[in-house]
Amino acid sequence: MTDTLLAAHLTDIHYPVPSSFQLRDLLSKRITGAVNLLVSSRRAFRPHLLKSLLGHLRELGVSHLLITGDLVNLAYAEEYLRLRTHLEESGFSPGQVSMVPGNHDAYLPSSMAQETFWENLGPYAWAAGPTDYPTVRTFGGLEIIGVSTALPTALGMAYGEVGQDQLARLEELLRRKTGRFRVILIHHPPTPGADTWHDGLVDGAQLRRLFWKHGADLILHGHEHYDSETRLPGPGGSTIPVLGTGCAILDDPRPALRARARLLRFGPGGLERQWLIVHDAASGHWRPPAGSPIPESPTGV
Ligand SMILES: [Fe+2]
Ligand SMILES: [Fe+2]
């Protein structure tokens, strides 16, 4: 790639609209999510932090948002509508946003129907339905590949699955050599230790095999709600950086969990820098965490 491009990784926004809860939901999985929202006021997802973060990213000159799922909490249409309004008011057009769904965006089977995720966020997701994955689009020298792991699960479960059809299409995509820097967006972490049966990626081993055979240049994920940096094996003894980022708008006093985003600067050499910005509750500013200055050279990710 030739151009310099500043992007931001946001994930697990969990946009909350507690008032959406309805009596009929007492009989559904939404009851546990709603109770969590009501009792966890100490660590809550705050819409005003999303407005603040998007405004700050615009000021920084971020030209593309990379969002890896769990956009909302209970997958009500109202949550999606309000989140979409934030995006529209922020000035980031659908052409400047790439996103994939997470398990909370498929909270109930109906959540994946046209009236919710796809109806409201389809233009930002570059997909009209769950069978459109993997998605592919280019932005500058980047090739952004969206992988969906979202599917409805039983109460207490949060696992994800890529599925055989999507794996086959993804292999065809990765097999092509375009010369672009390939960024994979996926909600569930594709790393071996995250393969738990109740909230992991159930076919993670098959996905890792594709990366090992055909490669990728960067994998971004969410779901874990904390920051992580690791690598997966790639072709010919190479390794692929895998970055997870904590929740974007979590109003938690603990510095490691507080609202954050990851900035990614791409240039001729691919990913040249990456660093976190965290919301400072006292000043209201977004800045790198204490003791973590912006790296001056390409990091080891
Ligand atoms: Fe999440
Ligand atoms: Fe998740």
Residue 170 Cα to ligand 2 middle (Å): 21
Instruction: Tell me the per-residue pLDDT of 12-34, one tens digit each, with 9 for 90 and over.
Output: 999 987 655 555 555 555 555 55
For residue 151, the tally of other CB atoms under 10 A from its CB is 17
Residue 117 Cα to ligand 1 middle (Å): 16
Q: What is the pLDDT of residue 301?
A: 30
Q: Using an 8 Å Cβ cutoff, are 51 and 86 in contact? A: yes
Residue 159 Cα to ligand 2 middle (Å): 8
Instruction: Tell me the per-residue pLDDT of 244-260, one tens digit each, with 9 for 90 and over.
Output: 999 999 999 898 999 99
Mean pLDDT, rounded, for 41-68: 92
Q: What is the pLDDT of residue 38?
A: 53
Give me the domains of the chain, ranges plus CATH numbers.
5-287 (3.60.21.10)
b/e map of 123-136 (b: 16 or more CB within 10 Å)?
Answer: ebbbbeebebbbbb
Q: Of 54-58, 115-119, 232-236, which range is least confident?
A: 115-119
Residue 83 Cα to ligand 1 middle (Å): 15
Residue 147 Cα to ligand 2 middle (Å): 14
Residue 183 Cα to ligand 1 middle (Å): 20
Angle subtended at Cα 87 by Cα 85 and Cα 91, rounded to the nearest 5 degrees: 115
Instruction: Tell me the per-residue pLDDT of 153-168, one tens digit each, with 9 for 90 and over.
Output: 777 788 899 999 999 9
Q: Of 37-46, 48-57, 198-207, 264-273, which range is least confident?
A: 37-46
Write the burial class of residue 293 (CB in 10 Å: 0-12 exposed, 13-18 middle, 19+ buried): exposed
Q: What is the pLDDT of residue 130?
A: 84
pLDDT band at 297 (very low <50, low <70, confident <90, very high): very low
Residue 224 Cα to ligand 1 middle (Å): 7
- Of 226, 222, 157, 10, nearest to 98 (Cα)? 10
Residue 298 has pLDDT above 50, yes or no: no
Residue 275 Cα to ligand 2 middle (Å): 22
Q: Using an 8 Å Cβ cutoff, are 170 and 145 in contact? A: yes
User: What mean pLDDT value characterizes the chain?
Assistant: 87
Q: What is the pLDDT of residue 92?
A: 96
pLDDT band at 120 (very low <50, low <70, confident <90, very high): confident
The tokens of 256 are what?
């490691």
| 33 CB-near residues (< 8 Å, 6+ apart) | 73, 74, 104, 107
Strands 5-10 and 64-68: parallel
Backbone dihedral angles phi then psi of residue 298, each to the nearest 5 degrees: -50, 135
Residue 269 Cα to ligand 2 middle (Å): 32
Residue 150 Cα to ligand 2 middle (Å): 9
Residue 195 has pLDDT above 50, yes or no: yes
Residue 299 has pLDDT above 50, yes or no: no
Q: Using an 8 Å Cβ cutoff, are 74 and 43 in contact? A: no
Residue whose pair of structure tokens reads 């097999």 in the numeric block: 175
Mean pLDDT, rounded, for 187-215: 92
Residue 226 Cα to ligand 2 middle (Å): 12
Report the alpha-carbon distance of residue 150 to residue 162 in Å, rounded.
8
Residue 187 Cα to ligand 2 middle (Å): 7
Report the alpha-carbon distance of residue 66 to residue 100 in Å, rounded.
9
| Ligand located closest to 102 CA | 2
